[in-house]
Structure 1
Amino acid sequence: MVQLNAEYLAAGANRHPAAADWDESGILAFGADRNIALWRPQNSGSRGVYDFLQGHTDTVNVVKFVPNSQGILLSGSVDKTVKIWKRATTSEHYTCAQTISDHASSINCIAVAPGATIFASGSADATIKIWCLDESNTASLRQSITVTPRFFPLAMALSPLTGALDSYVLAVAGTKDIIQLYVLDSQSGPEFKLQATLSGHEGWIRSLEFTKESDSPHSDLLLASASQDKYIRLWRVHQGKELPAAAASADPSLGAFLPGKSLSNKAHRFKAQGLDYSATFEALLLGHEDWIYSTRWRRDKKLQLLSASADNSLAIWEPDATTGVWVTITRLGEISSEKGSTTATGSTGGFWTGLWSPSGSTVVCLGRTGSWRLWNHSDEQDRWIQGVGISGHTQSITGIAWSQDGDYLLSTSSDQTTRLHAKWKRGEQYSWHEMARPQIHGYDLNCIDSLDSSRFVSGADEKLLRVFNEPRAVANLLSKLCGFGGSHLEEMPDAANMPVLGLSNKAIEAIGDDEEVLNGNENDREAIDPASVVHKSTLDLDYPPTEEHLSRHTLWPEMEKLYGHGYEISALAASHDGSVVATACKASSIDHAVIRLFETKTWHEIKPPLTAHSLTVTRLRFSADDQYLLSVGRDRQWAVFQRDATDKSKYTQFALDPKGHTRMILDAAWAPTPLPLFATAGRDKQVKIWVRDEASAGFVHKATITEEGPVTAIDFLDAETGDGQVCLAVGMETGHFKIYSLVIKGDFSAQEIELASPISYANPARAITQLAWKPANRAHPGESGMELAIASEDGSLRVYSCNLAES
């Protein structure tokens, strides 16, 4: 048995205000596609995500820890289910204990209360269901509420009522501008009843949360509501016949901020256990300039509120000590004129949720790009200092490629970004991080390959390929933080930026902090784009770049475009010597199913293109010595092209099997053997081994590995693992992957290597799109084990290390 160790787990968070929660134990859970990712933001090692919970079959919308429950986690999904997860007593791993399938549509919100044995779930079927947890934390349905007037609940909050034992108040809001208060009176029955409707907002309400105003047992409850009308409203639930002071005074100046609008001070009265209660409007919080997605109360001693908005900012609010007026004491995030925009030049498109740490000393927020930003409060400086967050792709990862020396990993995705991942090394400690975002595009990206240690080529849905060169800023960053690179710096541009209306990254020069920017001529006919100005100090970091830095200052300049294809690029491969790039596009005819070759000195196409296929080519692979180019496609056939002995840039057809598989072939890989040998993988659930046969002057079928599902990805480790043995990784449409030891002498038998992993689910939740072994012959001194990168349709990128010598 071989132990798999998770070196790196990365996934972007789902864009939903309720998709994350932070437990008292320090674990932050967030929805990542159909997974739930677990992260300890205050971990001193900055290790990022350490586990994925799997079980949902569609996007996770809501994640909620049950307070004071020793690790009960609730999750709701577009798959119409709520799952209850329990944490193991001896570890941080969770297992699914129960799946609730009573709702008829997507789950949008879950409400829990400290010490309560009940929770509520709200769904797009316009119902709220109340659940009761027994001693074993198994849930049973207690009540079903149909929302009237009909709207979809998007936010809920649950709290015990002050002074009333086993009585609760449930606030519900969503796709209307009202908040409904349901009250459970333990004396009058086991059901929640609608007791008040709070009005005042003028847009959908996206977040609700209760807190106690003080530690007093008779403290009033405060309810914060955040709306798409750009305002936060605070409401007070008071126990007693008399009204609280603010409502009783009905100060008309409260409405002065909003011309033509008056703020309602109506008191909504109700009873529970014979006690009188009132719900009144308390305060209007103004300051955000766009939709407000979430509000969170601080959980320790201080009465503070954290809000996250589409205006790219987090705000921390607290009441003024003398006047009691709620004011913003801190604003974090970006000061951007492009509120809520999605420009490639770096505006984030807003913050979807903000969370307090249990102690209140750290805050995190989630942006449109799926990345987490993090700030720690410095008591000495009395300010918030940005720390190292985490990031990841938000859609299917379509391609991955190690740099030729294995120092870093490139990934490209349908989320239209290319990302560079590497190890941040500091003494004996290291952790993986996204170190650069070389490409932010306007089309879905489909494939990528590395040309050498500082160049790569990528293909997208735009019918052309782009070649990128590493800028000095990124080279210096990787040299400083990761300990590699740093040569040929004088030949590199400082940095790159993307014009607002363009797709091509342009090289730019950094200026000194004291240099003046010459802003065009006297008529301002050639004014400099402010986005193209970058100071040298901005590019000098002592820690992995933050999200703002990644999206603005780590782009790679584009050095070439490769034209010729008529449809979206489907596959590409760069030769190991970096002299030739082979490309293919989506095709439904012989005319378009050609393979085009480009030589990398002048970037001219080598004509004529290679023909063999009649449908889309799904994968291209060069052999280790570049003597052969292998292509496989949807037409179920594979073809091998051989390099010309005199002209190294030319290839001609050498072998072809029109019936290689019975269904489309999805991937192929060359083995690191003296005798040419390759494997093909298909939708027919088979991996086939083909070997060069001198007698027939072609390749013959030698062995077949049969799997339980369609095989979508394969890759050979590029070094033999033993005498006459090679290692083959196989990934499937189900998300499962296996590693085989293949004997290349004798009968070509394949033996599956038994794997053990400390994380709950080593397999992705959806189809594996690509597998890539780190170049074994480039392993750095002191590193043990081989590293396998796994890309998946679930948006997760995983790097596992394993010591195959143990097998």
Structure 2
Amino acid sequence: MRDEGLRGVTKVLNGHSGVVNAVKFFPTGSEHVAVLLSGAADHSLRIWKGHQDAERRFDLVKSVTEHKSPVTRIATLPGSDVFATGASDGVVKIWKLVHDVDFTAIDVELIQSISLAPRYFPLAIALAKLDDSALVLAVGGTRSTIQIFVSYDTQFQLSATLTGHEGWIRALDFTQESEEKDSDLLLVSASQDKYLRLWRLHQGEELPAASAALNDPALGVLGKSLSNKAHRFASATAKYSITFEALLLGHEDWIYTASWRHRAGRLQLLSTSEDNSLAIWEADPSSGVWVCITRLGEISGQKGSTSATGSAGGFWIGLWSPDGNSAVSLGRTGSWRRWTYSPTQDMWTQQVAITGHVREVKGLSWSRDGSYLLTTGSDQTTRLFSEWKRDAGSSWHEFSRPQIHGYDLNCISAVTPTQFLSGADEKLLRVFDEPKGVSEMLHRLCAIAPPSSASLPDAANIPVLGLSNKAIQAIDEEDTVDNADDDETEVVDPASIVRKSTLEFNHPPFEDHLARHLLWPETEKLYGHGYEISALAVSSSSALVATACRASSIDHAVIRLYDSAEWLEIKPPLKAHSLTVTALEFSPDDRFLLSVGRDRQWVVWERGEEGAYVLRYANPKGHTRMVLGASWTALARPTFLTAGRDKTVKIWAVEGDGVQLKGSVQARAAVTAVACNREAGDGKLQFAFGTEGGELVVGTAEAEGLDEVATVTVGRDVAPAKGINQIVWRPGREGRAQQMAVASEDSSVRVFNVEGGIVASA
């Protein structure tokens, strides 16, 4: 996030076999050593050591599976080797990191297991130093109470149970009230009841002065639940009390995170909520009452709106930067939002941050000239990524979110430089045209030449309760919209216009822009299929589109062809498969159409004299298990590749009246995707395939030696962590390093440079 080059994600750590629920940097106290702790649904706790070299490598040094259920939370403590983990087995474990001075050798020792009683799942844990002899641990979760444990020797004991919240506890965090060593500890708790509560841990027999919050008449009926009951306990050397300090009101929905920070000599609190806001709180110097001094995020007018009309769906994570002058949040749409404090303007301004898919990425397509990349997947969005080109260099960013849908999206393909179509679980395909606002932005920021046609719509939006993006008009700030025939009874819908200034910016768009203003208008719907769309291909000439849907019979396992000029179906559909067609691709000259399916066969259709495609070749036993990928090569002799669950990639050549098997490549797992580079040149075959385990392999062979394929496996440190769904080579790379994009089940889209057999992240 603090990278001035804005390169985005620079490292991905593979290893966990389940969803990662918690990550925490262990406080090493050294600028030269980084230790990262991670916990996941695979029940494991992993310890990674970072190397401060040019590649900033992280190596796995220890994996522990003491928990019997998914690890949900990790808490660390600066200045201590003790840390805690919580899991959905209702157990909190206390650990000690064992290491030498420079962290050359790292190990972990289990100190204690605490079974939470009555049993609940820990969703928040926090550690703090109580005094020189004791630590304090706060635990909250799927109950409305907070349990306080204090260490005696090395064992923690339950010392207090704090009541008051009326919902699950989502976040806990300790801090010293001031930088003085003997100042009180403050604990913040955030809950699904929409409130933050502050608690004071005070040393001594005497209780601290009663908080002014308890007597605030503005709280009204809430005052009845603001008990200042003192919870007393002792460490080995001193006596303590915990009292309720303040109730913070302001959020309108569940609160997910709360985090303290001392900024410029003042204690501030950061909180994020399902209400799409990030709030910064501070105690008023005169009254001591805690108030919200800054609120960032979306305006309250958007509450209750769905993702289709732009709501972020809540902020799940909120973090301070190390210097406290920036704050970031992460929400349901997968986009980080970043704000930085400007002392000169005395305000927080939004900055460019990282965005991306949050669920499985199903489909990819480069634009016809390779200038941008379209992606789509199970998070029901289509996204456009390209390179932001500027004097300081270039970096990849999301520049448009053409489609925000109500169904999972399965496939996508560019038709022309300004048009694409996508297929979804809703059984139909939709065609989208690039709006003028996006075209001008891509020209301004990515040096992508605008289309020669001037008939592009200005922008698009989604009507309330609708799924179809509608074209809207962009107007100047001083302009008004003329009603037809000056009919005063006709009122222009404010949602049907957008101010041009909204679409004019000199940086990659923020999440607010992507979710509302950078949609593409929908121009056509393609009907005909009876089940979810499974495969899609556009001919090299862009004149034809071939589609298929999920099927369990020959009647539905058909391939439908559409004319892209009028978007009319060319009948009859192509029948040969008996189960779902999993992949389609036209040959470079459009003479052939290749289809493969779950019925284990591949079929080659040939274009006849009248332009219709007819079955020419078929192999019902092309693979011993279902075929999942297919791709044509650019070799002079018609040659294609198929890939299947039988862990093989096969190379086939059309010769005379038949198709001959020319070569085969074995993989270590089921092959789920294969793609040929049509710009390999010099009569060479270059292709890539991916497996269900995330393994990515690049293969090369001579045109006359297809039985001898040389392969290079991409390193696991840069390869996807889960199955690969699609691979697409980038066109228009003559004279430059070849590139390919990879879509994965791990929600990532990766672009690789491929040059001289070496594969590296782009």
What's the TM-score bracket when you normalise by the shorter of the two chains? over 0.9
Q: Match for residue 315 of structure 2?
A: 351
- Residue 701 (structure 1) aligned to one of 653, 658, 661: 661
Q: Match for residue 770 of structure 1?
A: 726
For residues 229 and 732 of structure 1, what CA distance do their matches in structure 2 show? 45
- Residue 180 (structure 1) aligned to one of 132, 147, 151: 147
Query: Within the alignment, does 1:744 sit opposite 2:703 as a pair?
Result: yes
Q: Match for residue 111 of structure 1?
A: 75
Q: Match for residue 35 of structure 1?
A: none
- 8 Å contact 1:633–1:664 — kept in the other structure? yes
Query: Within the alignment, does 1:208 sit opposite 2:172 as a pair?
Result: yes
* 1:168 alignment partner AA: L
- Residue 206 (structure 2) aligned to one of 239, 242, 249: 242
* Greater mean alpha carbon deviation, residues 175-184 or residues 251-260: 251-260
- Residue 141 (structure 1) aligned to one of 110, 121, 128: 110
* 2:147 alignment partner AA: Q
Write out per-residue CA displacement over residues 596-641 of structure 1, whole angstroms, 9 at most, x where no aligned residue.
1001111111111111111110000001111111001111111111
For residues 231 and 517 of structure 1, what CA distance do their matches in structure 2 show? 44
Write out per-residue CA displacement over residues 380-437 of structure 1, whole angstroms, 9 at most, x where no aligned residue.
1111111101111111111101111000011110111111100000025000001101
- 8 Å contact 1:299–1:359 — kept in the other structure? no
Structure 1: 5+ residue runs without aligned partners?
1-40
Query: Within the alignment, does 1:287 sit opposite 2:250 as a pair?
Result: yes
- 8 Å contact 1:475–1:489 — kept in the other structure? no
Query: Helix, strand or coil: the match of 2:227?
Result: coil
* Greater mean alpha carbon deviation, residues 740-749 or residues 610-619: 740-749
- Residue 620 (structure 2) aligned to one of 658, 671, 681: 658
Query: Helix, strand or coil: the match of 1:491?
Result: coil
Q: Report the Cα offset of residue 353 of structure 1.
A: 1.2
260 and 276 in structure 1: CA distance in 2 versus 1, 3 angstrom threshold: closer
- Residue 779 (structure 1) aligned to one of 717, 733, 737: 733
Structure 2: 5+ residue runs without aligned partners?
100-104
Q: Report the Cα offset of residue 342 of structure 1.
A: 2.9
Query: Within the alignment, does 1:84 sit opposite 2:47 as a pair?
Result: yes
Q: Report the Cα offset of residue 160 of structure 1.
A: 0.4
Query: Within the alignment, does 1:788 sit opposite 2:740 as a pair?
Result: yes
Query: Within the alignment, does 1:548 sit opposite 2:548 as a pair?
Result: no
Q: Report the Cα offset of residue 517 of structure 1.
A: 5.4
Query: Helix, strand or coil: the match of 1:614?
Result: coil
242 and 473 in structure 1: CA distance in 2 versus 1, 3 angstrom threshold: same
Q: Match for residue 33 of structure 1?
A: none
For residues 485 and 81 of structure 2, what CA distance do their matches in structure 1 show? 71
For residues 58 and 496 of structure 2, what CA distance do their matches in structure 1 show? 47
- 8 Å contact 1:230–1:292 — kept in the other structure? yes
Q: Match for residue 650 of structure 2?
A: 688
For residues 229 and 484 of structure 2, what CA distance do their matches in structure 1 show? 59
Write out aligned runs for 1:50-199 (5 A): 50-69=10-29, 70-90=33-53, 92-135=56-99, 136-161=105-130, 164-185=131-152, 189-199=153-163
Q: Match for residue 185 of structure 2?
A: 221
Write out aligned runs for 1:321-360 (5 A): 321-339=285-303, 341-360=305-324
Write out aligned runs for 1:583-732 (5 A): 583-645=547-609, 647-648=610-611, 650-694=612-656, 697-722=657-682, 724-732=683-691
For residues 225 and 41 of structure 2, what CA distance do their matches in structure 1 show? 39
Query: Helix, strand or coil: the match of 1:479?
Result: helix
For residues 103 and 328 of structure 1, what CA distance do their matches in structure 2 show? 39
Write out per-residue CA displacement over residues 540-563 of structure 1, whole angstroms, 9 at most, x where no aligned residue.
111111111101111111111111
Q: Match for residue 24 of structure 1?
A: none
For residues 109 and 666 of structure 2, what CA distance do their matches in structure 1 show? 43
Write out aligned runs for 1:242-391 (5 A): 242-246=206-210, 251-253=214-216, 256-259=219-222, 261-300=224-263, 301-339=265-303, 341-391=305-355
Q: Match for residue 560 of structure 1?
A: 524
- Residue 733 (structure 1) aligned to one of 692, 707, 712: 692
Q: Match for residue 23 of structure 1?
A: none
509 and 497 in structure 1: CA distance in 2 versus 1, 3 angstrom threshold: same
Q: Report the Cα offset of residue 475 of structure 1.
A: 0.4
Q: Report the Cα offset of residue 251 of structure 1.
A: 4.8
Write out per-residue CA displacement over residues 338-367 of structure 1, whole angstroms, 9 at most, x where no aligned residue.
435433010111111110000011110011
Q: Report the Cα offset of residue 302 of structure 1.
A: 3.1
For residues 217 and 186 of structure 2, what CA distance do their matches in structure 1 show? 18
For residues 157 and 721 of structure 1, what CA distance do their matches in structure 2 show? 59
Q: Report the Cα offset of residue 166 of structure 1.
A: 4.0
523 and 232 in structure 1: CA distance in 2 versus 1, 3 angstrom threshold: farther
For residues 720 and 338 of structure 1, what CA distance do their matches in structure 2 show? 50
Query: Helix, strand or coil: the match of 1:134?
Result: strand
Query: Helix, strand or coil: the match of 1:144?
Result: strand
Write out per-residue CA displacement over residues 47-99 of structure 1, whole angstroms, 9 at most, x where no aligned residue.
10011111111111111111235311111112222111111253522122212
137 and 746 in structure 1: CA distance in 2 versus 1, 3 angstrom threshold: closer
For residues 484 and 194 of structure 2, what CA distance do their matches in structure 1 show? 38
- 8 Å contact 1:521–1:527 — kept in the other structure? no
- 8 Å contact 1:339–1:349 — kept in the other structure? no
Query: Helix, strand or coil: the match of 2:454?
Result: helix
* 2:543 alignment partner AA: S
How many residue pairs get aligned? The number is 749
* 2:4 alignment partner AA: S
795 and 525 in structure 1: CA distance in 2 versus 1, 3 angstrom threshold: farther
Q: Match for residue 749 of structure 2?
A: 797
- 8 Å contact 1:290–1:339 — kept in the other structure? no
Write out aligned runs for 1:461-476 (5 A): 461-476=425-440
* Structure with bigger RCO (C-alpha 8 Å, 6+ apart): 1
Query: Helix, strand or coil: the match of 1:592?
Result: coil
* Greater mean alpha carbon deviation, residues 267-276 or residues 455-464: 267-276
- 8 Å contact 2:273–2:316 — kept in the other structure? yes
For residues 217 and 267 of structure 2, what CA distance do their matches in structure 1 show? 21
For residues 288 and 127 of structure 1, what CA distance do their matches in structure 2 show? 30
TM-score normalized by the length of structure 2: 0.95
- 8 Å contact 1:336–1:347 — kept in the other structure? no
For residues 321 and 489 of structure 1, what CA distance do their matches in structure 2 show? 61
Write out per-residue CA displacement over residues 230-257 of structure 1, whole angstroms, 9 at most, x where no aligned residue.
111111111122221235x895336734
Query: Helix, strand or coil: the match of 1:56?
Result: coil
For residues 266 and 640 of structure 2, what CA distance do their matches in structure 1 show? 64
Q: Match for residue 16 of structure 1?
A: none
Q: Match for residue 102 of structure 2?
A: none
- 8 Å contact 1:111–1:119 — kept in the other structure? yes
Query: Helix, strand or coil: the match of 1:138?
Result: strand
423 and 274 in structure 1: CA distance in 2 versus 1, 3 angstrom threshold: same
For residues 642 and 330 of structure 2, what CA distance do their matches in structure 1 show? 41
Write out per-residue CA displacement over residues 285-304 of structure 1, whole angstroms, 9 at most, x where no aligned residue.
11111111110111554311
For residues 626 and 690 of structure 1, what CA distance do their matches in structure 2 show? 17
- 8 Å contact 1:729–1:738 — kept in the other structure? yes
For residues 784 and 120 of structure 1, what CA distance do their matches in structure 2 show? 50
Q: Report the Cα offset of residue 754 of structure 1.
A: 6.1
